[in-house]
Structure 1
Amino acid sequence: MSSTVADIPFIYHFLLTWFEPFAALNGAFLCVFWPSMFLYTFTTVKYRPDHQIMFDQLAATYIFFAFIEAVVLRITNELKVWKAIVFGILLCDVVHLYGAWGIMGTESFLNPSTWRPEEWINFSLLYGPGLLRICLLLEVGFPKRKVAKKA
């Protein structure tokens, strides 16, 4: 018997179909209309207008994430589709953290006492949902499945 969306606990539904699409759209908005603020949340590097194309393309990616989470996850009834999408987003999180580590350096990246308030927010929005993604993939909090007995 395969699992369906009905088996997914509320916290995962809320995170993936409400909170994250809103956060992704907010990121897209910042990339297009306030890229210097977006950049400042990740690093102290100064924004250069001739790099706007990268921010516009990143905004497109965030809009795609928002669509996948807000629309595709609502129209599928298959847990395996949810897990595939969640795994893909988790991979994106890992690359995002790799980028942060690259710009911050190991010592700062691993030492929260050196983080700016913006980095605390950024990492909280990565680690918290990232942990929930891992929990969903492991089916933590899911109802127990009945195992069919062999005759």
Structure 2
Amino acid sequence: MPSTVEIPLPYRLLFLYIEPLGAFFGVFVNLFAPITYLKSLSPQATAATYSPLDQPIYDQLAAHLLFFAWAQAIVLRSTSDVYVWKILLFGMALCDVLHLWASYNILGAEVFSNPARWRWEEWVNLVMLYGPGGLRLAFCAGVGLGKEGKTE
């Protein structure tokens, strides 16, 4: 049975507006400015060279980001069923874990775990993974949803 509840404003702002806009921006960066995206990944990536032969990878990432934007901006808006929200957001949290793992691998433990060593790009990338990712998990755990927001 669907569990409906008024989704708290902070969750609605993040998941229905802020993140979809950020993901949609990422679509354009990967399609039309892949060098910018490549250089934002790590200090080592600044020495990397963009090759047009790699563009399909950026195009596929853009497709992934477009799906995220659509899922949040459209699918989540279409329902107030907390169970649906939790399923979708938990799947996105799984993606967050892989993104963090990739960042850890490219940055190394010394940089990944030390914000004093982050470039502005790490601040954007990691804060956008830790912050919304943490809120995704909080939502899935029912934090702030009240008794009606609990699903079985």
Task: Give your verdict on TM over 0.5.
Answer: yes
Q: Which runs of 4+ in 1 moved over 6 A?
A: none
Partners of 1:110 and 1:126 in 2: CA distance? 14
Letter in 1 for 2:98: V
The question of 1:115 aligning with 2:114 is answered: no
Are residues 1:98 and 2:97 paired? no
2:123 aligned counterpart, secondary structure: helix
Alpha-carbon offset, residue 77 of structure 1: 2.7
Contact 1:7 1:143 survives alignment (8 Å)? no
Q: Which amino acid aligns with 2:13?
A: F
Unaligned residue ranges in structure 1 (runs of 5+): 146-151
The percent identity for this pair of structures is 44
- Higher-Rg structure is 1
Match of residue 3 from structure 1 = 3
Q: Provide the C-alpha distance between the structure 2 equivalents of 1:9 and 1:31, rounded to a whole number of angstroms.
A: 32
Structure 2 residue 64 is the aligned partner of structure 1 residue 61: yes
| TM-score calculated relative to the size of structure 2 | 0.89
1:82 counterpart residue number: 85
Q: Secondary structure at the match of 1:7?
A: coil
Is residue 6–residue 80 contact of structure 2 (8 Å, CA) maintained in 1? no
How far, CA to CA, are the matches of 2:116 and 2:39 in structure 1? 18
Cα separation, 2, equivalents of 1:133 and 1:77 = 16
Partners of 2:7 and 2:80 within 8 A in 1: no
Give the 3-state SS of the residue equivalent to 2:70 in structure 1: helix
Partner of 2:76: 73
| Aligned equivalent of 2:145 | 142
State TM-score, norm by structure 1. 0.89
What is the distance in 2 between the residues matched to 1:28 and 1:41? 14
One-letter amino acid of the structure 1 residue matched with residue 142 of structure 2: E
CA deviation vs aligned residue, 1:68-107 (integer Å, no higher than 9, x gap): 1111111123111100000000000000010111111122
Cα distance in 2 for residues equivalent to 1:3 and 1:21: 24
Q: Which runs of 5+ in 2 are unaligned?
A: none
Q: CA deviation at 1:9?
A: 0.8
- 2:143 counterpart SS class: coil
Give yes or no for the alignment of 1:18 onto 2:21: no
Query: Which structure exhibits the higher relative contact order, with contacts defined as CA atoms closer than 8 Å and separated by 6 or more residues?
Result: 2
Q: Note if 1:132 corresponds to 2:127.
A: no
CA RMSD of aligned residues (A): 1.4
